[in-house]
Amino acid sequence: DMAEKDENGLPKHLEWLDGISIAGLVVGENCETPSHWRSKQTLSKWMEQHNVPGISGIDTRALTKKIRENGTILGRIVYDLPTNIQSLEFSDPNQRNLVAECSVQEPMVFNDSGSPRICAVDCGLKLNQIKCFISRGARVELVPWNWELHEARFDGLFISNGPGDPVVCKETVIQIQKVLKSGKKPVFGICLGHQLLSTAVGCKTYKMKYGNRGHNLPCIHHGTGRCFMTSQNHGFAVDTETLPFDWEPLFTNANDNTNEGIIHKQKPYFSVQFHPEHTAGPEDLELLFDVFLNAVKNQKVHGAPTISLRQQLINRLMYNPSPESLMEKRPRKVLILGSGGLSIGQAGEFDYSGSQAIKAMKEEKIQTVLINPNIATVQTSKGLADKCYFLPLTPDYVEQVIKAERPNGVLLTFGGQTALNCGVELERTGVFAKYNVKILGTPIKSIIETEDRKMFAERVSEIGESVAPSEAVYSVEEALNAAKRIGYPVMARAAFSLGGLGSGFADNQEELETLARQALAHSSQ
């Protein structure tokens, strides 16, 4: 629903206040008969309302190859193949001031009674940036890209993302320089805002051949050396060779070594090239909003930050494992419950993941013991596991192996449903505790809560989400009574069991009775 608003009057499902920003859309396939339960209209109808053209039936993989070979290219959607391609005229967006086209025309205030006061310069802002501020209690005044800034009206300056070449936004750069010169207000920039802040301090920017566009792009934080996954969409980058002495790189792209952020060595000024507000994308670095707001509050109360912004970021981004997340000592030998039997046509995803687990253990110089009854798997190949037992994945056999091998760690999540059930039973009967075997990875409690249908529904309900009406039953009679309350058709699913063991749809009592008998033969629930 495009018209649905949140509690702050912002569109709930869109990232801008109104309209569509693109000039045209190219897709391989366009769905004209959507079946999603929340669907209100087709994509075509929505684009038609905003007078934006699109074209489908295009080999987008071939188009991607052309872009990969030539870099970003100009394009045009036409009705018919032109007789003289050379005569076609193309609209180059880089020749226009795109920021002026998509910025608000007048200031807008959100969460008027909030604190601290953030002035957000709209260069083509994503709404979740506003939401990230007001969810933390801040008041946000959204101003046009070329608005004259008066420091008495805000406590911190935020410069948003936006399209195009930062060189075009000279008026914005002048306003940023004015705030930096006074040195009284913390500054935070994202994407184009990062490039504008960099330009304001004297850096040069350049157009990239492709740009960085995607939801899982790795960035290295210079203060800690840690890698974070980020969401990005930009075609220009900052040249760090032109960075002034009192500034330093904050993040660097791990793929192409381009700059992903800068920070002042003493003052509370910083910016990042990626989108920490995500939507969509990783949420790894949303905490940058917390760090910025803390700096704003400190500046407001004390007149200067009690601890440098640079050090605050290091403190927040440093990995500090809690004691309960660490074993008393490094595991020397780990038992892996393997993928079990495979049939022709099955995906074998647990064979793959189990093989990767064994390789990871070997890299860490940890001895591996594998239990897998199927010799025709990758993980049972010579040279992978240090020792392999071709035994059934049952509690009795696994206990015998534990007794003989004495591993001090076990992995239960690389053998599918069979290994999970076996692990749950071994924990229930106290075998792991008896031989002092620590469960690595997913805890038993989490396994039980996801496999037990009733408990899973309760956990989902606790976080405010809804699930389809369901009931956990333990007999055929209970199943039939539950179906009467829910209403046919129903889906029966055996807990702690593979998908095909007594699971399926039933349109009436007779079909459900048959399914229930099969399911309860394999599971108690």
Known catalytic residues? 191, 275, 277
**Helix, strand or coil, per DSSP, at residue 305:** coil
Q: What whole-number distance in Å separates Cα of residue 251 and Cα of residue 263?
A: 9
Phi and psi at 186, nearest 5°, equal -60, 150
Residue 449 phi/psi, 5-degree rounding, is -70, -25
Q: Which residue has the tokens 């038609």?
A: 48
Amino acid found at 234? H
Pairing of strands 409-411, 438-440: parallel
The secondary element (H helix, E strand) that includes residue 229 is: strand 227-239
For residue 1 the two structure tokens come to: 């629903």
Beta-carbon contacts of residue 192 (< 8 Å; ≥ 6 apart): 99, 123, 124, 159, 160, 161, 162, 163, 164, 166, 169, 234
Give residue 271's identity as a one-letter amino acid code: S
SS3 label, residue 67: helix
Sequence-distant (≥ 6) Cβ neighbours of residue 336 within 8 angstroms: 354, 357, 358, 361, 368, 369, 370, 371, 379, 385, 410, 411, 414, 415
Alpha-carbon distance 93 to 100, whole Å? 12
Token duo for residue 8: 């702050």
Question: Amino acid identity of 376?
Answer: A
d(CA 140, CA 425): 54
384 phi and psi, to 5 degrees? -90, -85
